[in-house]
Chain A
Amino acid sequence: MLNLQPYADPTYFIYLLLALVPLAIGLYYGKRFVWYEVIVSLLFIFLIFDSGRYIQQGIALIIYMLWETALVAWYTSYRKRANNSWVFYITTFLSILPILAVRIGDTGLFKTQLTLLGFLGISYLTFRTVGTIIETRDGSIKEFSLPLFLRFVLFMPTLSSGPIDRYRHFNQDATVAPSRDKYIEFLGKAVWYFFLGFLYKFILAYGFEHLYSYTQNMAMADASQGWSWWLIGVGYSYGFYLFFDFAGYSLFAVATGYVMGFDVPMNFKQPFRSKNLKDFWNRWHITLSFWFRDFVFMRLVFTMMKNKVFKSRITTSNVAYIVNMLIMGFWHGLTWYYIVYGLFHGVGLVVNDAWLRYKKKHKVPHNKLTEYFAIFLTLNVVMFSLLIFCGFLDKFWFHH
């Protein structure tokens, strides 16, 4: 049976774009054919999960959606009557329960079948759902709409790996067509993004993946000594591979969203030109880091300040940085290297902030040269963190 993994090979793009032609014509003439969009989306989602080992994931997706939809629908109706904090915490916990179970299953520590609850994209669907619950708690979302909620969470172009949109932002586009000028602009950008994405994902990421595999083999030869100069190569080749692979995928997702008349947020903004770590997180996997900024960091700071947990504003923000990045680490998976990666970035942001404060108080020379140095330093800090993240060190030190 025909099975199509998102953006995996050239035929996918041909099928996808052909299927979207009627929708595009409608949008060009100012009409959004919602039913057509829903049918095409469901078809393409079906084609991800329709054969072999994917069928199990498809079933997991259906169970997951039933669970989350019931939860959000119930919470919205509850929120109209009351606003108890514990009800909110428990609802949020229940909505992350499926991914928590999958992550625990992934560790293999317990003889469970929890991994069977997982499917391609579960963590991204979880971000959308949890964000919706939190905004409902805040009173920013007042009504539950089943069709809108399903279209938002299951939005076909971004199903597997984001970018992570927000419910209210998505809804601005969901029922109306963009103006013709806007749509022509979308189509123009989409063409550019598709081709840039091909370059990133099918040429550059492909090349760096080979380099990554080569440097790993070379490094493994030195594994008994506990150190190898090849590790630097592993970090860099993995970092560039990850960027071109993920940024390439993200360009496809955004471009497809544009063709469908949705203003899907961008995920990367030249991250290797970052001048410091804070700048890096404004440019790297942007929709994830902004999700954490808005739903974890700012709320944590808000609560801590309101209850005057710490006297100092600096302590408050430092604690929030570390908690925020640690949670991000845990989200990637329950392994030592993801958690160390999160902690590394948390501490990195604390140091970065201290430096920015120092710079503000003292006269630190600033010119083109110091700027290049800052970019170079940031790049190396990031690449080191990605060396941790890629998990090779686990193999290198503990399983050789």
Chain B
Amino acid sequence: MDVQAEVIEVLNGIIGEDISDQMDDNLFDSGLLDSMATVELLLDLENKFSIQAPVSEFNRDEWDTPNKIIAKVKSLIG
């Protein structure tokens, strides 16, 4: 499975609905992500990809859509 599909799977699990048709929607504005869900996301990504994403690297502007999250994960892996 590629990174994109895996990140979507993680996001779907946390949010509880399928987000693959809203890849450029702001998840914080729509209320789908909040601080709590964000921490779950960081922990899940840490487990799944063995990447270190500390809370202080988490700048909401850079992590607010599924596409941006995927890009971030890719950059942290690479």
Q: List A residues at the B interface (Cβ < 8 Å).
A: 134-135, 138-140, 278, 293-294, 297-299, 301-302, 305-306, 313, 316-317
Q: How far is the CA of A163 from the CA of B35 in the complex (A)?
A: 21
Which chain B residue lies CB-closest to A302? B39
User: CB < 8 Å: which of A140, A293, A297 contacts B57?
Assistant: A140
A140 closest partner in B (C-beta): B56
* Structural contact, B54 and A139, CB atoms closer than 8 A: yes
Complex CA distance for A278 and B31, rounded to whole angstroms: 11
Dominant SS at the A interface? helix
Q: Report how far A305 CA is from B38 CA in the complex, Å.
A: 12
Number of A-B contacts (CB under 8 A): 37
The answer on a CB contact under 8 Å between A134 and B56 is yes
Q: Of residues 38 to 57 in B, which have CB atoms within 8 Å of A's CB atoms?
A: 38-40, 42-43, 54-57
Report the nearest A residue to B36, measured CB to CB.
A317
Looking at the assembled complex, report how far the CB atom of A288 sits from the nearest CB atom of chain B, in whole angstroms.
15
A357 to chain B, nearest CB (A): 11
Q: How far is the CB of B46 from chain A (nearest CB, A)?
A: 9
Given contacts A294-B56, A298-B58, 8 further A-B contacts (CB under 8 A): A138-B57, A140-B54, A140-B57, A298-B38, A302-B42, A306-B43, A313-B40, A317-B36
Q: When chains A and B are docked, how far (Å) is the Cα of A305 from the Cα of B36?
A: 10
28 A-B pairs with CB atoms under 8 Å apart are A134-B56, A135-B56, A138-B54, A138-B55, A138-B56, A138-B57, A139-B54, A140-B54, A140-B56, A140-B57, A278-B34, A293-B35, A294-B55, A294-B56, A294-B58, A298-B38, A298-B39, A298-B55, A298-B58, A299-B55, A301-B35, A301-B39, A302-B43, A302-B55, A305-B43, A313-B40, A316-B36, A317-B36
A33 to chain B, nearest CB (A): 29
B54 CB contacts on chain A under 8 angstroms: 138-140
**Known contacts A138-B55, A139-B54, A140-B54; A298/B35 CB under 8 A:** yes
Give the distance to chain B from A126, nearest Cβ to Cβ, in Å: 17
Nearest to B31 among chain A residues (CB) is A356
User: A-B pairs with the 9 shortest C-beta distances?
Assistant: A138-B54, A138-B56, A140-B56, A135-B56, A301-B39, A317-B36, A302-B39, A298-B55, A298-B35
